[in-house]
A and B are shown apart, each in its own frame.
Chain A
């Protein structure tokens, strides 16, 4: 490409001495129904030129608010105090006109949700060009700005940039939009880039692309970067320093390696211990952090983490512990009065967390001891097909194509077993689930639940099957009717299936206890519970009819990590106690590795690899599985830096028009390296699932083991 006009500073020469950004004792509060919300309470940090600072914390810990304060983009109802110095210049108190000269020019920002971050009515190219024109009025012609916009799009890896610049945002996928936003952010060669959860809304493979792009952006602009995330894995390999936030304050700060290896504050420990690890094959104990983040309206005195802290002592309630240097280093600070005791433990990182929080591994269910092929089949899919018509037409609609959402998939689940179904969004996971749950005759193939085929059941039999199969949904906020009490929510399935009133009244409290909730809360409404608690209620409802199979649609992906661990532990316990079989749909492979016995990887409506979980994860045969696994960050900075990433190019092709032969070939790195005659085989012949090892099949003509963890 002709880099005629792209002029970035050389990274080596920072504009000024000292930190690019210096935040001192920042306070932000908002008015609300219940009183003032103190979203940020005395936050101080700095970012040096070219440095990457990671900010980690649970939802509501004030991460976004503090960075919006830097940008001067908080709503006018916010009250801000403290100091924000950018290159030595105070930003608080500047007016909109002053700030807008800095925004986008010296400091730029990438937001969480790429789908709504671009104005729907202007082309992507125009919006990027606008970022240039706004700061270089007169100096740069419109044509030059447009040209530069194309170059930037090219730089962020949008293929065919000249054409795509003329596209509107809705014609871009989420990953492409996020690239466009990043292009906008680097357009004026800023000195600081703030990225607020830039990958949270994206698939893992796209997340890997975007993270790599941010690294590139950092290299070309030499800017300092603040990257905000709630996922400790994401920043492990990327950030230089880390700041952990809790209840609007920094509770631990330090170099990345120190924090991961020697966390000195129980909250950080908990966070580290709550993440399921992709690289651990033996059953790992997950640390749940009990309770919920505190309300920020009127915090009691003392350590805000005290109600959830396993190490809390009376002294914790007297005053809020300040950030103090730990391990004799000014680089590493933690806010806890018992840091020294934590330092005294022998264990490191996540292991220390397990010790302190006292997590346990659930037992194997009884049935699991019987060999797999002797157990009953609970669910069986045989070449299941689901297609949607694509209609087009003026006066009369006509069918112009077909979306092959599910293109012939087969698997079975046996008693007491968990099958994890994974894949990028749009690969057909949810369609598969809905087909199973609808219990109608499929378009092609067969679904059998407990030996009964869905194609020849009548309404009555279908109703009976519903008793043995229940479902837990992804969004705990949406899965309970807000107008029913918890009691009514849990009782509903039993009412439908004609349980006697006494029976129901006896079972509901029992179910509450089973999922770890107090039965005296039964008369409350879902709105009064937190996400994790609601998900437990949803699980209680799913168990009401004593099903044999529970279908779980991303049951933990909407929860914060610390809460997620508790729910995963609960699911494992229930499985062991009740001998349940799970169909567990997830996009997070770490969770799947933790909970599943077998895993099936889907790509564009097909299962491309399936088998026993350790075999698939430790010795993946299909290039897609390998790429997927390699894209997942591991919360270990040392390992992360050494890992070699397989970055997939592009997005998922449209399922309306899947590639011929092997559906993965358009993105397959292995295919790209093959000699032409072998490539032809990929293009012409669809690979079938072949046995690779015991209970391990993959669908690739050139399947070979490649370790990626």
Chain B
């Protein structure tokens, strides 16, 4: 078992490295930071352009640049931006912002998604199932870039109705906010609710569909019938034998969802003006900055890696058939 997990881990680390390398290579090959510089008005002097080229190691071949950058990363130095600011300084803060958003969103998403899926399956083709299905279909068809502004619109209506800014949809905290720890917590919560909702709603819809079908598979299974034949009531059999088994295939999805979420987070951050990792990616591409782009990619890769590995652990914990191998 431990061996299995170790093998997966090695596999993931290799994948993460390759992914980062690819991102770095693609970015370095297509980006043209000097071109951006040259278009400035007035154009910078040739000497400073040459200096910039050297700073950015543009005179070296790409693989060598990657090695240079990577050896820095290993020592905790993620290089400098085109504007010559150290990436490492900004990294920690941005990761904090993003994780706050994702972890809350995904937790809500999983818990309520699973519940909704189970209810929907058990009450198949009844009103609650139709309702849940409609709800998740609409949400699944609504990307964050639509859902976000709609939530804002709704929040504004609510704020107007109450007459005070309960829900705040710009930034992650009020700039220059003064107050004790409690007021500051409330302030952060006010900022957190909408973006978390934007993430969680989509996740709920996504997981509930899969949980529903996985639960439906289990509903027709022989072992559920055996459990009832033993004398368990239907409800008890459903939860103790059915749900427990139906959760197994979900483990992989949880990881998969997390991977997608990091990218999806880009939209949420942009719409609610949070300066997290997703936003940074946009900034990085906008300023044609290979180092920022590679750093964000590495972060995405590590997130997927970690959650994928977590899924393996979860899978092994849930499914005795895996445990033996």
Direct contact of A and B (CB under 8 A): yes
A residues neighboring B (CB under 8 Å): 71, 73, 96-97, 100-105, 108-109, 111, 113, 116-122, 130-131, 134-135, 168, 170-171, 181, 184-185, 188, 393-395
Stretch at the interface among B1-9, B22-30, B194-202: B1-9
Report yes or no: A120 in contact with B223, Cβ–Cβ below 8 A: yes
Evaluate contact between A119 and B229: CB separation under 8 angstroms: no
Contact with A along B218-245 (1 / 0, CB 8 A): 0001110111111111100000010011
CB proximity to A under 8 Å, residues B1-53: 3-4, 6-7, 10
Given the known inter-chain contacts A119-B223, A120-B319, please indicate yes or no for A394 contacting B6, CB distance below 8 A. yes
Report B-chain residues with C-beta under 8 Å of the C-beta of A73. Answer: 225, 228-229
* B162 is an interface residue with CB less than 8 A from chain A: no
**Are A170 and B320 also in contact (CB < 8 A) when A116-B223, A119-B241, A121-B245 are?**
yes
Chain A contacts for B221, CB-based, 8 A: 116
Cβ A168 vs Cβ B3 within 8 A: no
**Cα–Cα, bound, A100→B233 (Å):** 6
At the interface, yes or no: B324 with Cβ under 8 Å from chain A? yes
Residues on A with C-beta less than 8 A from B231 are: 100-105, 131, 134-135, 188
> Does A119 contact B324, Cβ atoms closer than 8 Å?
no
- Given A119-B223, A394-B7, A108:B229 Cβ within 8 A: yes
Q: Evaluate contact between A395 and B226: CB separation under 8 angstroms.
A: no
- Given known contacts A97-B233, A394-B4, A103 and B223 CB-to-CB distance under 8 angstroms: no
How far is B227's CA from A116's CA once the two chains are assembled, in angstroms? 12
Residue pairs across A and B with Cβ atoms less than 8 A apart, 14 shown, are A71-B229, A97-B233, A103-B228, A103-B230, A104-B229, A111-B229, A119-B227, A119-B244, A120-B223, A122-B241, A184-B230, A188-B231, A393-B3, A395-B7
Residues of B within 8 A of A118 (CB): 223, 226
> At the interface, yes or no: B321 with Cβ under 8 Å from chain A?
yes
- Judge whether B248 is part of the interface by a CB distance below 8 angstroms: yes
* Residue of B221, B234, B248 ringed by the most chain A CB atoms within 10 A: B234
Report chain A residues within 8 Å CB of B244.
119, 121
Instruction: Check A134–B245 contact: CB distance below 8 A.
Output: no
Closest CB in chain B relative to A71 CB, distance in Å: 6
What CA separation (Å) do A446 and B223 show in the bound complex?
Answer: 46
Docked Cα-Cα span, A395 to B9, in Å, equals 10
B318 within 8 A of A: yes
**Which residues of B from 239 to 269 have beta carbons under 8 Å from A?**
241, 244-245, 248
Contact A171 B226 (CB under 8 A): no
Q: How far is the CA of A188 from the CA of B230 in the complex (A)?
A: 9
Q: What residues of chain A lie closer than 8 Å to B321, measured between beta carbons? A: 120, 168, 170
B34 to A: closest C-beta gap in Å: 44
Q: How far is the CA of A111 from the CA of B233 in the complex (A)?
A: 18
- Residue of B4, B6, B226, B248 contacting most chain A CB atoms (<10 Å): B226
Would A119 and B6 count as touching, CB distance under 8 A? no
In this complex, what residue of B is CB-closest to A75?
B220
Tell whether, in the assembled complex, residue B6 and residue A120 are in contact, meaning their CB atoms are under 8 Å apart. no
The reply to whether A121 and B234 contact each other, CB–CB distance below 8 Å, is: no
Chain B residues close to A by CB (< 8 Å): 3-4, 6-7, 10, 221-223, 225-234, 241, 244-245, 248, 318-321, 324
Given contacts A73-B228, A121-B244, 17 further A-B contacts (CB under 8 A): A73-B225, A96-B233, A100-B228, A100-B234, A101-B231, A103-B230, A104-B232, A105-B231, A111-B222, A111-B225, A111-B226, A118-B223, A120-B223, A120-B319, A120-B320, A130-B230, A184-B226
8 A-B pairs with least C-beta separation: A104-B231, A394-B3, A104-B230, A116-B222, A131-B230, A168-B320, A119-B223, A109-B229
Q: Are B245 and A119 in contact (CB under 8 A)?
A: yes
Question: A170 to B3, alpha carbons, bound, how many Å?
Answer: 21
Nearest residue in B to A107 (C-beta to C-beta)? B229
Chain B residues, CB < 8 A from A104: 229-232
- For the complex formed, measure the closest distance between the CB of A199 and the CB atoms of chain B, giving whole angstroms: 16
CB contacts (< 8 Å) of A96 on chain B: these are 233-234
Classify the interface of chain B: helix, strand, loop or mixed: helix
What distance in Å separates the Cβ of B316 from its nearest Cβ neighbour in chain A? 12
Query: If A121-B248, A394-B3, A395-B10 touch, does A103 touch B227 (CB 8 Å cutoff)?
Result: no
Task: Tell me, in angstroms, the Cα distance from A71 to B324 when the chains sit together.
Answer: 35
Q: Which of B7, B229, B324 contacts A103 (CB 8 A)?
A: B229
- CB-based nearest B residue for A171: B324
Q: What's the minimum C-beta distance from B237 to chain A, rounded to whole angstroms?
A: 9
Give the complex CA separation of A73 and B225 in angstroms. 7
**A395 and B7 alpha carbons, distance in the complex (Å):** 5
Residues of A contacting B234 in the complex (Cβ-Cβ under 8 angstroms)? 96, 100
Q: Which residue of A lies closest to B219 (CB)?
A: A75
Residues of B within 8 A of A117 (CB): 222-223, 225-226
Return chain B residues, CB-CB under 8 Å to A97.
233
Collect the chain A residues with CB atoms within 8 Å of residue B241's CB. 119, 122
Q: In the complex the two chains form, what is the Cα distance from A495 to B126 in whole Å? A: 52
State how many angstroms separate the Cβ of B17 from the closest Cβ of chain A.
16
| Contact for B318 among A121, A188, A395, CB less than 8 A | A121
Q: Which residues of A contact B245 (CB under 8 A)?
A: 119-121
The CA-CA distance from A283 to B300 in the complex, in Å, is 74
Residues of B within 8 A of A108 (CB): 229-230
Are the C-beta atoms of B232 and A100 separated by less than 8 Å? Answer: yes
Among candidates B7, B226, B228, B319, residue contacting A121 with C-beta atoms closer than 8 Å: B319
| Chain A residues positioned under 8 Å from B233 (CB to CB) | 96-97, 100
Residues in A with CB closer than 8 Å to B225 are: 73, 111, 117
Q: Which residues of B contact A130 (CB under 8 A)?
A: 227, 230, 232
CA–CA, A102 and B232, complex, Å = 10
Q: How far is the CA of A185 from the CA of B230 in the complex (A)?
A: 7
Please, how many angstroms separate the alpha-carbon atoms of A465 and B230 in the complex?
56
Chain A CB within 10 Å, residue with most, of B7, B228, B319: B228
Measured in the bound complex, the distance between the Cα atoms of B229 and A101 in whole Å is: 10
What residue of chain A has the Cβ atom nearest to residue B321's Cβ? A170
By beta carbon, the residue of chain B nearest A187 is: B230
* CB atoms of B320 and A121 under 8 A apart: yes
* B321 smallest CB distance to A (angstroms): 5
A135 cross-chain contacts in B, Cβ below 8 A: 231
Interfacial chain A residues near B320, Cβ < 8 Å: 120-121, 168, 170
Bound complex: CA A681 to CA B3 (Å):
42
Complex: how many Å from CA A134 to CA B221?
A: 21
**Distance, CA A52 to CA B71, complexed state (A):** 79
Residues of chain B contacted by A102 (CB below 8 angstroms): 231
A131 to B227: give the CA distance in the assembly, Å.
8
C-alpha gap A494/B241 in the complex (Å): 52
| Chain B residue contacts of A121, Cβ below 8 A | 244-245, 248, 318-320
**Considering only CB atoms, which chain A residue lies closest to B234 in the complex?**
A96
Closest residue on chain B to residue A393 by CB atoms: B3
Name the residue among A103, A116, A119, A171 with the largest chain B CB count within 10 angstroms.
A119
Report Cα–Cα, A443/B10, bound state, in Å.
35
Write the nearest CB–CB distance from A543 to chain B, whole angstroms: 39
Chain A residue nearest in CB terms to B232: A134
Bound Cα distance from A185 to B227, whole angstroms: 11
Min distance, Cβ B217 to any Cβ of chain A, angstroms: 12
Residues of A within 8 A of B318 (CB): 121
A73 to B232, CA, bound (A): 12
The complex places the Cα of A331 from the Cα of B63 at a distance, in Å, of 91
Residue in chain B with minimal CB distance to A95 = B233
Chain A neighbourhood of B232, CB < 8 A: 100, 104, 130, 134
State in angstroms the CA–CA spacing of A168 and B323 once bound together.
11
Contacts of A71 in B (CB 8 A): 228-229
In Å, the complex CA distance between A113 and B223 comes to 10
Which chain B residue has the least Cβ–Cβ distance from A130? B230
The closest CB in chain B to the CB of A103 belongs to B231
The answer for the CA separation of A118 and B223 in the assembled complex, in Å, is 5
Most chain A beta-carbon neighbours within 10 Å: one of B223, B228, B229: B229
Q: How far is the CA of A80 from the CA of B222 in the complex (A)?
A: 21
CA–CA, A117 to B4, complex, Å?
Answer: 29
Give the docked Cα–Cα distance between A304 and B301 (Å).
66
Contacts of A181 in B (CB 8 A): 226
- Bound state CA distance, A113 and B248, in angstroms? 22
Q: Which residues of A contact B222 (CB under 8 A)?
A: 111, 113, 116-117
Q: With A and B bound together, what is the CA distance between A299 and B203 in angstroms?
A: 50
